[in-house]
């Protein structure tokens, strides 16, 4: 297959990750339509056109696709009416990586069934509940500590670690209140006491073998990423094991594009957690750590362009810049101070409003060691104030 440039690309989801995808797309001369649930979303600010719709509404999706006639649809979040994407694909529009893949990963239960039941991949012990009573029963079965998450959510929204039975009700209420979309279902997972968790960026190509970036280590709080670094310090044997699993899952999903495949690494095991069929938030470190960042790799894979070599540029890290209050007018302080240090960069996403813990930007750094890079990135992120 040879894909002519430029293409008309529609991004479904226009956050910070979509913004970088849009920039990478524009740099290859493509036309980008950015779509999200609110106006002035980050990717809309750099796109040729934008639309504000409910991406969970099939009618809304139909209207924007009819209006703009994209050749390629690039989903950027999970919460999309993915049945509609299957229809678009049948009508000849390319959906990245495939409409089926977005359908599998829209909810945690579908991808879990595929990985565990169908492909036999090791995951944490898990179960589901649709009522508080069911959650109590399944929690007892799985044991404590465990992790409760809405089946449809991301960035840790609605997620809690449950230490014992007395905390189950609180976890249920929190999950249901923070579930995206119309689902009332939660997943309960055995708590894995991992040594490190990693994202393995996996690039699946139309006409070339699957390739990988060096593993990215990360640290999460409240189920949301705080800092990431590359390369992650894990053994060659475990990297190969993770690659093997990543190939198995991404081959089952098909298509082309980058995937962020998440693993828990324990002393003896590589445990599959979940995956994003698109760039991963922890992969923002590649904005400084590689010759081609994860967004450029996504675009190359989508457009069937060659990726001759991924160069890792040495110890690098990212640290998030989070809002602490609700606000509709955003201004940043401390940027000059943060940028005064060598090998430090700051990306501010341009989100139009803030609320506690909303990710507003990211600090990036290189260092002589991963430890130094992490310290530099965190220090730079801490210098940024949101006024």
Ligand X SMILES: NCC(=O)N[C@@H]1O[C@H](COP(=O)([O-])[O-])[C@@H](O)[C@H]1O
Residue number with CB closer to Mg ion (332 or 357): 357
Q: Report helix, strand or coil for 300.
A: helix
Q: Which of the listed partners (Mg ion, ligand ATP, ligand X, none) does 77 bind, with a CB threshold of 5 to 8 Å by partner kind?
A: ligand X
Please check if 183 is assigned to a binding site: no
296 lies in the site for ligand ATP, by CB under 6 A: no
Of 9, 10, 12, 15, the residue at the interface with ligand X (CB under 6 A) is 15
Closest by CA position to 132, among listed 163, 161, 174, 164? 174
Instruction: Match 């990710």 to its residue by tokens.
Output: 359
Options 3-11, 204-212, 218-226, 287-295: segment touching ligand ATP (CB under 6 A): 218-226
Q: Is 359 an active-site residue? A: yes
User: Two tokens at 57?
Assistant: 């509404």
Q: Which of the listed partners (ligand ATP, ligand X, Mg ion, none) does 20 bind, with a CB threshold of 5 to 8 Å by partner kind?
A: none
> For residues 242-301, which are near ligand X according to CB under 6 A?
281
Tell me how crowded residue 105 is: count the other CB atoms within 10 A of its CB. Answer: 23
Q: Which of 227, 281, 294, 296 is catalytic?
A: 281
> For residues 135-164, which are near ligand X according to CB under 6 A?
154-155
Of 112, 149, 298, 359, the residue at the interface with ligand X (CB under 6 A) is 359
Residue number with CB closer to ligand X (18 or 255): 18
Distances (CA, A) of 158 to 68, 170, 328: 34, 11, 23
Please check if 192 is assigned to a binding site: yes
Please check if 262 is assigned to a binding site: yes
> DSSP states of 119-167 as a string?
T------EEEESSHHHHHHHHHHH-SSEEEEESS--TTTT-EEE-SGGG
Of 47, 77, 142, 346, the residue at the interface with ligand X (CB under 6 A) is 77
Question: 219, exposed or middle or buried, with CB in 10 Å at 0-12, 13-18, 19+?
Answer: middle
C-alpha triplet 203, 207, 210: angle, nearest 5°:
30
Q: Is 262 an active-site residue? A: yes
Of 20, 167, 197, 227, the residue at the interface with ligand ATP (CB under 6 A) is 197
Is-contact 107 183, C-beta < 8 A? Answer: yes
Give the shortest CB-153-to-ligand ATP separation in angstroms: 6
Give the shortest CB-280-to-ligand ATP separation in angstroms: 7
Q: Is 164 an active-site residue? A: no
Number of residues counted as binding ligand X (CB under 6 A): 13
192 lies in the site for ligand ATP, by CB under 6 A: yes
> DSSP states of 332-376 as a string?
EESHHHHHTSTTEEEEE---S-B-TT-EEEEEEEE-SSHHHHHHH
Q: Is 48 an active-site residue? A: no
CA–CA dist 339, 359 (Å, integer)? 19
Give the shortest CB-262-to-ligand ATP separation in angstroms: 6
Is-contact 151 175, C-beta < 8 A? Answer: no
196 lies in the site for ligand ATP, by CB under 6 A: no
Residue number with CB closer to ligand X (38 or 369): 38
Q: Is 156 an active-site residue? A: yes
Element spanning 75, H or E:
strand 72-75
Q: Which of the listed partners (ligand ATP, ligand X, Mg ion, none) does 316 bind, with a CB threshold of 5 to 8 Å by partner kind?
A: none
Q: Which of 156, 181, 223, 314 is catalytic?
A: 156
Is-contact 12 80, C-beta < 8 A? Answer: yes
Q: Which long-range contacts (CB under 8 A, 24 or more apart) does 62-68 make?
A: 64/10, 64/33, 64/35, 65/10, 65/93, 68/8, 68/10, 68/33
Query: Which residue ranges make up the site for ligand X (CB under 6 A)?
Result: 13, 15-18, 76-77, 154-155, 281, 351, 358-359
- The residues annotated as belonging to the active site are 154, 156, 262, 274, 281-282, 359
Which residues define the annotated binding site? Answer: 16-17, 76, 108, 149, 154-159, 189-192, 197, 262, 274, 281, 351, 358-359
Query: Which residue ranges make up the site for ligand ATP (CB under 6 A)?
Result: 124, 147, 149, 153-156, 159, 189-192, 197, 220, 223, 225, 262, 273-274, 281
């Amino acid at each position: 297959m040879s894909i002519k440039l430029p293409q008309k690309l529609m991004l479904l989801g226009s956050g910070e990750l979509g913004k970088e995808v849009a920039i990478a797309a524009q740099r290859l001369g493509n036309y980008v339509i950015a779509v999200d649930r609110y106006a002035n979303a980050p990717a809309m600010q750099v796109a040729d056109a934008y639309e504000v719709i409910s991406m969970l509404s099939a009618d809304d999706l139909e209207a924007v696709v009819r209006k703009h006639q994209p050749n390629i649809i690039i989903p950027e979040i999970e919460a999309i009416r993915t049945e509609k994407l299957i229809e678009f694909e049948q009508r000849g529009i390319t959906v990245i990586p495939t409409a089926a893949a977005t359908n599998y990963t829209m909810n945690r239960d579908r991808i879990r069934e595929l990985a565990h039941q169908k492909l036999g991949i090791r995951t944490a012990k898990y179960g589901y509940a649709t009522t508080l009573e069911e959650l109590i029963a399944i929690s007892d079965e799985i044991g404590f500590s465990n992790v409760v998450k809405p089946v449809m959510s991301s960035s840790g929204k609605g997620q809690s670690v449950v230490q014992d039975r007395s905390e189950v009700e609180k976890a249920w209420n929190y999950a249901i209140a923070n579930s995206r979309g119309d689902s009332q279902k939660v997943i309960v997972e055995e708590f894995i006491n991992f040594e490190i968790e990693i994202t393995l960026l996996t690039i699946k190509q139309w006409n070339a073998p699957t390739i990988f970036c060096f593993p990215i280590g990360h640290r999460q709080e409240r189920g949301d990423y705080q800092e990431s670094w590359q390369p992650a310090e894990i053994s060659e044997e475990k990297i190969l094991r993770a690659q093997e699993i990543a190939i198995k899952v991404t081959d089952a999903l098909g298509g082309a594009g980058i995937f962020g495949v998440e693993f828990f690494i324990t002393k003896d095991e590589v445990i599959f957690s979940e995956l994003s069929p698109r760039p991963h938030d922890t992969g923002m470190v590649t904005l400084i750590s590689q010759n081609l960042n994860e967004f450029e790799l996504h675009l190359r894979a989508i457009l069937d362009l060659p990726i001759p070599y991924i160069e890792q540029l040495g110890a690098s890290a990212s640290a998030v810049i989070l809002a602490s209050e609700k606000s509709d007018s955003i201004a940043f302080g401390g940027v000059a101070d943060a940028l005064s240090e060598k090998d430090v960069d700051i990306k501010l996403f341009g989100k139009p409003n803030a609320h506690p813990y909303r990710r507003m930007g990211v600090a990036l750094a290189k260092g002589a060691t991963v430890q130094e890079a992490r310290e530099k990135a965190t220090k730079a992120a801490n210098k940024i104030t949101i006024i």
